[in-house]
Chains A and B, each alone.
Chain A
């Protein structure tokens, strides 16, 4: 059984592409080999910046011979039929066999396909793989037509077994596969020949190439930890950086340096981010001071001076970078101390989204919404509004301009510097959370208020301009925003009506000049102003460059706040032919759109909630059953209901009860359809004929008020227990009582009794939606 070694040796492959390329190479080649009839024992792929490597063990030497029998025409069939059969099989007449069949003699063709040697198949598969390799970006070079991630220089394609190794004959665009490669670019640049994977890996190691990325990662991790330990420091773990750095070197040589004292007062996040983003350094922390005081850079070479020159150069670059950072930090602090007015002003000129206005517009909306939410989450309304107003100001800071990933982190520092309370400052840092599944949910009330307002504004805004996520496309991360709302609400037990908040958020969009001509939302409680506004916006086409228009809008806002809108309208429309009818129509359609927006957005929340609860073991049909209940935009209520229902349905009582409820529902539905009436009222125990009937009446009389009270108290545990007490009476009733009797009074009475069961169930959930 031969082994196969493939090396594709090129100029430096981007680090971020290597892992995927290893996997693609392994899959494309092994799939191709298997499809061509070969089998193998194991396959593994490896990479360095300059090579992609595949090693396959225990490959079959040939694909198997295949034999196929095909039945043809009868021997006495017309010649045309025989000729057609010969063409389709590719055989000649004397190669056919005449065999006896039920209906006489028939021609049979036996087609043998001989197996092919592995080398032939490997050559074909490798060429196809190289020509169709799914690089995220590929290129041509020189005068050739081949595409690869960077220029491809040589190929090893070697089959080896006990008797020796043989190069697989393959030439692709002037590159002939061989058995030789090169070592480290600087430390061992000469070519050498190899006889198989073990020989290859061993020789590469001598030539200062560590082939396995996992080994390079482990080596870097270990050596960096050792270097840090020697100084009493510890390395800040960063797996993403580790993988990237391991993809930039063939022979990792970690070197440690100290950060100059003059930079140690920079926030640790700044040091870490600057060193990582610009220089791919690991940060080293001194546990005694809690500060980041050093770094580890990973060189790709062993030098006679043991890396001294390299370290010195890196120190120099670091000093220049950190000088920039210190400069930004000092300037930003000065602006923060002066109250951050310039930043706020600057955000008025930064577009958030062309239809949704500037960042300043957005902040004003978030601030208003945060005020509304504050009392619902136990936050002080003034603090929440203040926090919302300053939370995004750091977007204008020089530091966040340089390192966007520090947004919020810097916001907290600057807010504190500006004299804000710790609660407000924390909200600046935390209002973006939760971002990913592992990101913690804020719990401080002010942070929760701003975080919710931020996400709800984003969702409502993009819903309003119809930029919803579709399929895999979610460029504004709206699914993440919705999940963030869900986690904030559930994590903090926040009792809010999402529908109502969405409508409040949407209503504040109407203030946006550029937006209002397309979308006319009726702001709650401001009908008169809204009507006037619509007339203005329809009379003045939205032209942001029109100075008089902008001035008129300014006037309008002033008048609006001073309640002088109507007077102003009169003046404005004196010489204009106003079209009040148009305004009316748009007002109506705006009102309708607001309702449909909040309905649609709520459905989106429910979809996200299903995904979220499924991970927590709650079935989607149970969620459907509770979504059908009133108050479904209060997610805490909804989830409590679902959890209680989920629990009870896990018990035997629960599953039997479900059957009973469904049976009652089905019988009722059938009878109602047949009779054309709804049975909903009037069951009377005096018409009960059996003990089972009477027992059910008694059980319902007892359970109904208990369930009602439990639901009122939102104690769904008790409510589901209450309904579970009906299980045995319902079972007994169905076991012994025939609903459809000739006595119409008795029949109607029984149907009305079933209706009481249905109603009791409806207090808790729409059981009809539950499967099983």
Chain B
């Protein structure tokens, strides 16, 4: 097993090594290292630590792994590069620091990609999420011709201009790690150290689940139930957002986070319905528009709260 000291010089030897190095690197840069959000999402951007926290004036710096689900990408665990469940590494810093590119390049070094022997390039790629009403400008970062990250300066989220602007970095962990480790098929990638008493490969952990979920996503998920869940989430989101600002005890408590959870839920349910092939091209736009409407209203509420403005949480009225 490699000692922490070896970590600084030697290349990573397994998947979790790549993750751990990113965690310690961004922790050292002052990011709060968060844990994954406990809901099904399509990308790390959906984590409220990015979507909501990129709104408002309050400074922010966070890094985290986010398990991401894209039901349509399921390939029964057979495709070397495609998975319906995979990991993203997400870094979000507001305001975006002037040396964000250098910080990012430092993270590549930390996982064994030395820009002095590799060809690292910033290639134009603008990012847009119609579901979140969000867009930004930036690049996909290429390493020796392979896209290893997405680098975005958020301009708008939930229909709100981002002031200040957040810098967002997203690493596709499996693909990046496969490249660093020189693995051809994701399922062959060592997850823990190959010399561990019980060495585990990615496939040992995920192959069966990929198969099961591929079947469920494509053939089995009950579309009537999913549709009902979608409607329920939408209705609950609306209900939360329409609730009076104060509770029974007269305490002003806006509920942006619980409402946003419902928007996330609706978004994932839409993805599942899409994978089941029951959403036509024209309906697609309508569904995306419905989720966007929810996300926007959540954003509208969130920007009024202290998590966005940076002001102290208002005290409850005496006696409440």
- Chain A positions near chain B (C-beta within 8 angstroms): 11-12, 14-16, 49, 137, 139-144, 149-151, 153, 186, 248-249, 279, 297, 299-301, 303-305, 307, 309-310, 312-314, 316-318, 320, 351
Residues in A whose Cβ lies below 8 Å from that of B116: 186, 301, 303-304
Distance to closest chain A CB from B95 (angstroms): 4
Q: A141 and B145: CB pair below 8 A? A: no
Chain B 94-123 interface residues, beta-carbon cutoff 8 Å to A: 95-98, 101, 115-123
Cα–Cα, bound, A139→B163 (Å): 12
Our pick among A153, A279, A303, A318 for the contact of B117 (Cβ within 8 Å) is A303
Q: Given contacts A15-B123, A313-B118, A313-B146, list 17 more A-B pairs with CB under 8 A.
A: A15-B124, A137-B137, A139-B155, A140-B155, A141-B165, A141-B167, A151-B98, A153-B98, A297-B145, A300-B121, A303-B116, A309-B118, A314-B144, A316-B146, A316-B179, A317-B145, A320-B81
Q: Which of B115, B144, B163, B167 has the most CB of A within 10 A?
A: B144
Residues in B whose Cβ lies below 8 Å from that of A309: 117-118, 144
Our pick among A14, A49, A143 for the contact of B164 (Cβ within 8 Å) is A143
Residues in B whose Cβ lies below 8 Å from that of A144: 164
Q: A142 and B95: CB pair below 8 A? A: yes
B93 nearest in chain A by CB position = A142
Q: B165 and A140: CB pair below 8 A? A: yes
Distance to closest chain A CB from B101 (angstroms): 6
Our pick among B98, B145, B163, B167 for the contact of A279 (Cβ within 8 Å) is B145
Chain B 4-49 interface residues, beta-carbon cutoff 8 Å to A: none
B155 nearest in chain A by CB position = A139
Chain B 117-168 interface residues, beta-carbon cutoff 8 Å to A: 117-124, 126, 136-139, 143-146, 153, 155, 162-165, 167
Q: B144 and A143: CB pair below 8 A? A: no
List, sorted by A's number, 12 A–B pairs whose CB atoms are closer than 8 Å. A12-B124, A15-B123, A141-B153, A141-B167, A142-B98, A150-B153, A304-B117, A307-B119, A310-B117, A310-B118, A313-B144, A317-B146
Q: A142 and B80: CB pair below 8 A? A: no
Cα–Cα, bound, A144→B98 (Å): 11
Residues in B whose Cβ lies below 8 Å from that of A153: 98
Asked whether B243 is an interface residue with its Cβ less than 8 Å from the other chain, the reply is: no
Cα–Cα, bound, A299→B80 (Å): 27
Given contacts A141-B96, A143-B164, A300-B121, contact A314 B81 (CB under 8 A): no
Q: A11 and B118: CB pair below 8 A? A: no
Q: A137 and B119: CB pair below 8 A? A: no
Q: A151 and B117: CB pair below 8 A? A: no
Residues in B whose Cβ lies below 8 Å from that of A300: 119, 121
B101 nearest in chain A by CB position = A11
Q: A137 and B118: CB pair below 8 A? A: no
Distance to closest chain A CB from B169 (angstroms): 14
Cα–Cα, bound, A307→B167 (Å): 31
Asked whether B320 is an interface residue with its Cβ less than 8 Å from the other chain, the reply is: no
Q: B124 and A313: CB pair below 8 A? A: no
Q: A248 and B115: CB pair below 8 A? A: no
Residues in B whose Cβ lies below 8 Å from that of A351: 281
Distance to closest chain A CB from B138 (angstroms): 8
Q: A186 and B143: CB pair below 8 A? A: no
Cα–Cα, bound, A320→B185 (Å): 10
Distance to closest chain A CB from B279 (angstroms): 13
Given contacts A11-B101, A304-B117, A313-B146, contact A137 B96 (CB under 8 A): no
Interface contacts (Cβ under 8 Å), in number, total 96
Distance to closest chain B CB from A471 (angstroms): 28
Cα–Cα, bound, A248→B164 (Å): 29
Residues in A whose Cβ lies below 8 Å from that of B96: 141-142, 151
Cα–Cα, bound, A316→B167 (Å): 30
Q: A12 and B139: CB pair below 8 A? A: yes
Q: A142 and B165: CB pair below 8 A? A: yes
Distance to closest chain B CB from A141 (angstroms): 5
Given contacts A248-B121, A300-B119, A320-B80, contact A142 B137 (CB under 8 A): no
Q: B122 and A313: CB pair below 8 A? A: no
Chain B 253-299 interface residues, beta-carbon cutoff 8 Å to A: 281
Given contacts A143-B95, A279-B145, A313-B143, contact A11 B122 (CB under 8 A): yes
A13 nearest in chain B by CB position = B124
Residues in B whose Cβ lies below 8 Å from that of A12: 121-124, 139
Residues in A whose Cβ lies below 8 Å from that of B123: 12, 15, 248
Q: Which of B101, B124, B138, B143 has the most CB of A within 10 A?
A: B124
Residues in B whose Cβ lies below 8 Å from that of A313: 118-119, 143-146, 179
Cα–Cα, bound, A11→B99 (Å): 10
Residues in B whose Cβ lies below 8 Å from that of A320: 80-81
B147 nearest in chain A by CB position = A317
Our pick among A137, A301, A312 for the contact of B126 (Cβ within 8 Å) is A137
Distance to closest chain B CB from A654 (angstroms): 58
Q: A150 and B95: CB pair below 8 A? A: no
Distance to closest chain B CB from A273 (angstroms): 16
Distance to closest chain B CB from A372 (angstroms): 32
Residues in A whose Cβ lies below 8 Å from that of B119: 299-301, 307, 310, 313
A323 nearest in chain B by CB position = B80
Residues in B whose Cβ lies below 8 Å from that of A314: 144-145
Cα–Cα, bound, A316→B182 (Å): 9
B146 nearest in chain A by CB position = A317
Distance to closest chain B CB from A561 (angstroms): 29
B126 nearest in chain A by CB position = A137
Q: B97 and A142: CB pair below 8 A? A: yes
Cα–Cα, bound, A14→B162 (Å): 22
Cα–Cα, bound, A336→B17 (Å): 46
Residues in B whose Cβ lies below 8 Å from that of A16: 124
Cα–Cα, bound, A313→B113 (Å): 11
Cα–Cα, bound, A149→B126 (Å): 12
B81 nearest in chain A by CB position = A320
Cα–Cα, bound, A141→B97 (Å): 9
Distance to closest chain A CB from B24 (angstroms): 24
Residues in B whose Cβ lies below 8 Å from that of A49: 122
Cα–Cα, bound, A747→B62 (Å): 102
Residues in B whose Cβ lies below 8 Å from that of A11: 101, 122
Q: B124 and A142: CB pair below 8 A? A: no
B280 nearest in chain A by CB position = A349
Cα–Cα, bound, A15→B125 (Å): 11
Cα–Cα, bound, A249→B117 (Å): 16
Q: Which of B97, B164, B167 has the most CB of A within 10 A?
A: B164
Cα–Cα, bound, A15→B121 (Å): 12
Distance to closest chain A CB from B278 (angstroms): 14
B59 nearest in chain A by CB position = A143
Cα–Cα, bound, A90→B163 (Å): 44
Distance to closest chain B CB from A181 (angstroms): 16
Residues in A whose Cβ lies below 8 Å from that of B137: 137, 139, 149-150
Distance to closest chain B CB from A704 (angstroms): 64
Residues in B whose Cβ lies below 8 Å from that of A14: 124
Cα–Cα, bound, A303→B118 (Å): 8
A320 nearest in chain B by CB position = B81
Cα–Cα, bound, A248→B126 (Å): 16
